[in-house]
Structure 1
C-alpha cells in the first residue's frame, strides 16, 4: 500500500473541502450570523491538508490504493465536515454531528434534528451544500480541480462513481470529471432559476436545488417541500429529481447529438417504465385520500420521484398512505436510480441484469444445449461483470440484514428499524413509522447512529471501498 500517496491525496482533498466552506461562511456574513463554526474549521483543514500534501511519494498507484483512498477520504471528509455543526452548538454530541455530516455528503438526507428552522442560515446552507458536493463525488471534484493527479485518477473514479460499469467520457479522466461537473452545474443552475421564477425565494431555491441535484433531501423546512403547499414547486422539483436520476453519460451523448443512442439505453427505458408504472399504481391506491385525481397523481409522482431518485423530499406524509403504496415505495428504495447518476441504492442497471440472468437460467433449463448470453444496450456482458453484480447484490442484502439486527437493540418496531437501514444504505433518508418523512433519527442510540452512518458510506461508495479499507491485506506495504 502506497500510504504516502494516499495521505497526499487526502491532504489535497481536505484543502478543497476547506475552500468549499468559504461559501457557507459568506452566507453567515451576509445574514450577519456567527461565523465562528467556519472560522475555526477552515484554518484547521488548510493546515492539516497542506502538511499532508507535502508528503513525498512515488507514483505507484493501483486499484487497491484507489479503493483504499476513496474510503478513507470519505470518512475523513465526513468527520471534518461535522466540525461546523459541532462548533455551532446546535447538536447534542459529536456523533450526531458526524451522522448529519455523513448524511449530507452521502446525499442521504437522514437527520437527527427534530426542528431545522431554528438553525442559522449558514449552517443550513452548509448542510444542503454537502449534498451538492457529495452528489457527483468529492474525489471527482478534486480530480476536476487538480488534474495533475494524472492517470491514477481512473482508479479513484471507479471506486467513487456509482454503478456496475465506469468508463471515461473522453481519454483523460480529468477532462471527464470536468464534463460531468459542467453538466451537473448546468442542470443545477437551471433548476435554481426556474424555482426562483416560480416564486421561491433565492436562498430557498439554492438549498433545495442543491438537495435535488445531489439527490439528497435536506430541506430548510420542518415539513420539507410540503411546507410550501405549492404545486408548481412540487412539479419542478419532481422533474429535476428524475433528471438527476439519469446516467450523466447520456446527457453527454445528447450534447454530442447522439439522441438515438440515448433512447436505446436499456437502463433508461427500464427506469422510465418503473417510474410511470409506480406513479399509476400509487395514484389509484391513494385516490380516495385526495379531492381530485390530479392531486393524487401529483403527490404520487413527487414521492415516486423522490424515493427512486433517493432524494428523500416529501410533499405529503406517505407514512399515512395505504399499505400497498408504502410497500411499493420501500421496493423503490431498493431499486434506486440509474448507474452514473447522483442517486443511490442498488441501481436500475443491476436490477435489470439480475432479471435477465434469471431469464437466462430459465432458458438454460428449457434448452440445455443453447448458448444464452446476457446483453445490456446490445452488448454481450462478460461473466465477470455478471458475477460482480451478483456479489454486490448479495453483499447489499447481507449488510442490510446485519445492520438491521445490530440496531434492533434500540427496541423500535421492525418497520422503523428495517426501513431506517434500507433508507440509510440506499442513501434515501426517510423510511416508515419513526423515520417517516415527517420523522427523524434523533431517538436512535449513539451506537445505532454510528452503524447507520457507516451504512450511508457503504451505500454511497457501493460497498467494496469500505470492505477494502477494513481488510487487513489492504494495510500491507507489499
Structure 2
C-alpha cells in the first residue's frame, strides 16, 4: 500500500472537485444570491485540504497498484459525499444526515431526495444539485485518469475500480488517458445537445441546462417538485427519453459509432441491441396494461406514459411525469424489478447492467441444454464471440454478492422502521441508483429514520461502485503487503 500515492491522488481529485464549486458561485452572483458562506467557504477549505493531502507525496513517482486504486476510489467517493454535503448543509439549513444523504444521492446519480419545495430554492443551489449528479455520472475518477498521467501517476487501476460493467479490462484507445478524454468529449457533447434540445422545445435556458445535467448523467434530479410533468410538454418528454437512452448505452459503442462513422454499431452490439429490444417490449406490455386496466381510454396516451416511465426507470434516471406507484395490477412492482437490470455496461446508468443479466440468462439456458445433452460442449456466446469462463465466474460472483448484500440491507431497513414493501423498494432504488420507490419512499426519503438514511447512503455507494470495490476493503488479505 503506497499511502503517499493514495494521499496525493485523493488530494488532486479533492482539489478538482473544489474548483467545480466556482460554477454555483457564479450562478449565485448572477442571480444576486448569497454565496460567500454557502459555496466560497467550502471551495476554499476543500481546496486547502486537497493541497495538504497532495503535498506530502507530490515528488513521489510511482504507478498506482490495484490495491491503491480500490482504496482511492472508495475513499474518494465517500469523501466526495461529505464534501458535497457541506454547501447543502449551509445553504438549506439541513440536518447533517439529510445533507449527506442528498449529496450521496446526487454524486451516485441515485436521485432520491429529502428536499421538497424545489421551486422556491435559490438557483445556485438547484444547479449545484444537478452539477453533482453530472460529475458523478461519468465519474470524477475518469476525469482524473485524463489528468493523472500528465502528473506522473498512472490511472489504469482507478479505471478498473470505478468503471461500471463486467468487462473492465477493455479500453477504447491504446492509452487510458486518451480513453478518458474520449469519454468526456462524448459526455460533454451529449450534455450540450440535450440542453439545446430542451431549450428548443420550450425550456428556459436555466432549466434546459440544469435538466441536461441530470438527464445525461441518468441522475433524475429536477428543479421542480413535479419533475418533468411541470412542463406539460410531450416534446420535452421525447427529448428526455432520447437522451436517457443514449446515456444508458455503452459509451464505447458511442465511440465506435462516432469516431469510426459506423452507426450500425448500435445494432451490431449485442448488449445495446438486447437493451433496446427489452425496452420496446416493456413499453408495449405496460402501455397495453394501462390501456386495458389503467383508466386510459386511448392507446396513444397510455403508450406515451409507458414509454417515459419505463425508460426513466430502466435507465435508473428516475424522472417522473405520472405517479407509477398508482398504476394497476403488477405494474409498480414490475418497474422496480426492471431497475435491477439497469442500462448497459460502460454507461452512466445504474442496476446490475444488461450485459450481466444477458450472460446469466445464457448461462441458465446452457445448463438446461446440458441436462438434455450432458456430453455436449456448449460455450456461452455473445454474438459471434465465446465468453471467457473467467468473465462468467466474475458475473456469477457479482450476482451472489449483490443478492447477499441486498438481503442484509433490506433486513437492516426493516430494523430501521420501514415496512417490508418500503424496505425492499428503498434498498432496490438505492442500490440500483434509481430514486423513486414504493410505499414510504415513493416520492422522497423524508420519513425514513436517520439509521435508514445511513443504510441508504451505504446502498447508494455499493451500487455506484458495483459492490466489490467496497467489499474488497473489508477483507483482511487486502491490507496485507
- Scaled to the shorter chain, the TM-score interval is over 0.9
Select the residue among 406, 411, 426 that pairs with 2:412: 406
Tell me how far 1:113 sits from its aligned partner.
1.3
CA deviations over 1:169-210 (Å, ceiling 9, x no partner): 111111100000000100110010011011101111111111
Select the residue among 460, 472, 478 that pairs with 2:476: 472
What root-mean-square deviation, in Å, do the aligned CA atoms of Structure 1 and Structure 2 show? 1.4
Tell me how far 1:292 sits from its aligned partner.
2.9
Matched, 1:374 2:375: no
Select the residue among 119, 122, 130 that pairs with 1:120: 122
Tell me how far 1:62 sits from its aligned partner.
1.6
Counterpart secondary structure, 2:412: helix
Q: Quote the residue 1:189 is aligned against.
A: 192
Q: Provide the rounded CA distance (Å) in 2 between the counterparts of 1:456 and 1:289.
A: 35
Alpha carbons 2:11, 2:51 under 8 Å: kept: yes
The aligned runs of 1:49-64 (5 Å cut-off) are 49-56=50-57, 57-64=60-67
Q: Quote the residue 1:245 is aligned against.
A: 248
Tell me how far 1:231 sits from its aligned partner.
1.2
Q: Quote the residue 2:140 is aligned against.
A: 138
Select the residue among 206, 210, 218 that pairs with 2:209: 206
CA deviations over 1:262-288 (Å, ceiling 9, x no partner): 422111111011100110011011114
Q: Quote the residue 2:76 is aligned against.
A: 73
Q: Provide the rounded CA distance (Å) in 1 between the counterparts of 2:370 and 2:149.
A: 48
Q: Quote the residue 2:327 is aligned against.
A: 321
Select the residue among 266, 269, 286 that pairs with 1:265: 269
CA deviations over 1:114-157 (Å, ceiling 9, x no partner): 33223211111111111110000110112224432557311111
TM-score when normalising by structure 2:
0.96
Counterpart secondary structure, 1:323: coil
Matched, 1:98 2:104: no
Q: Number of residues paired by the alignment? A: 474
Alpha carbons 1:235, 1:298 under 8 Å: kept: no
Q: Provide the rounded CA distance (Å) in 1 between the counterparts of 2:386 and 2:151.
A: 33
Q: Provide the rounded CA distance (Å) in 2 between the counterparts of 1:290 and 1:231.
A: 17
Tell me how far 1:419 sits from its aligned partner.
0.4
Q: Quote the residue 2:10 is aligned against.
A: 10
Range moving further from structure 2, 399-408 or 362-371? 362-371
CA deviations over 1:413-472 (Å, ceiling 9, x no partner): 222111011000000000112222xx2101111111011101101000101111123333
Range moving further from structure 2, 411-420 or 236-245? 411-420
Q: Quote the residue 1:421 is aligned against.
A: 427
Matched, 1:168 2:171: yes
Select the residue among 312, 317, 342 that pairs with 1:336: 342
Tell me how far 1:112 sits from its aligned partner.
1.0
TM-aligned CA distance change 1:136 to 1:377, over 3 Å: farther
Select the residue among 289, 297, 300 that pairs with 2:303: 297
Counterpart secondary structure, 2:44: helix
Counterpart secondary structure, 1:69: helix
TM-score when normalising by structure 1:
0.96
Counterpart secondary structure, 2:117: coil
Tell me how far 1:34 sits from its aligned partner.
1.0
Q: Provide the rounded CA distance (Å) in 1 between the counterparts of 2:26 and 2:281.
A: 44
Tell me how far 1:370 sits from its aligned partner.
1.2
Counterpart secondary structure, 2:119: coil
Alpha carbons 1:127, 1:218 under 8 Å: kept: yes
Q: Provide the rounded CA distance (Å) in 2 between the counterparts of 1:261 and 1:25.
A: 41
Q: Provide the rounded CA distance (Å) in 1 between the counterparts of 2:151 and 2:376.
A: 48
Q: Provide the rounded CA distance (Å) in 2 between the counterparts of 1:340 and 1:361.
A: 28
Q: Provide the rounded CA distance (Å) in 2 between the counterparts of 1:111 and 1:472.
A: 35
Matched, 1:279 2:305: no
Q: Provide the rounded CA distance (Å) in 2 between the counterparts of 1:19 and 1:151.
A: 21
Structure 1: gaps spanning 5 or more residues: none
Alpha carbons 2:63, 2:153 under 8 Å: kept: no
Q: Quote the residue 2:19 is aligned against.
A: 19
Q: Provide the rounded CA distance (Å) in 2 between the counterparts of 1:217 and 1:261.
A: 27
Q: Provide the rounded CA distance (Å) in 1 between the counterparts of 2:469 and 2:55.
A: 25
Q: Provide the rounded CA distance (Å) in 1 between the counterparts of 2:286 and 2:450.
A: 36
Q: Provide the rounded CA distance (Å) in 2 between the counterparts of 1:115 and 1:376.
A: 47
Runs ≥4 residues deviating over 6 A: none
Q: Quote the residue 1:361 is aligned against.
A: 367
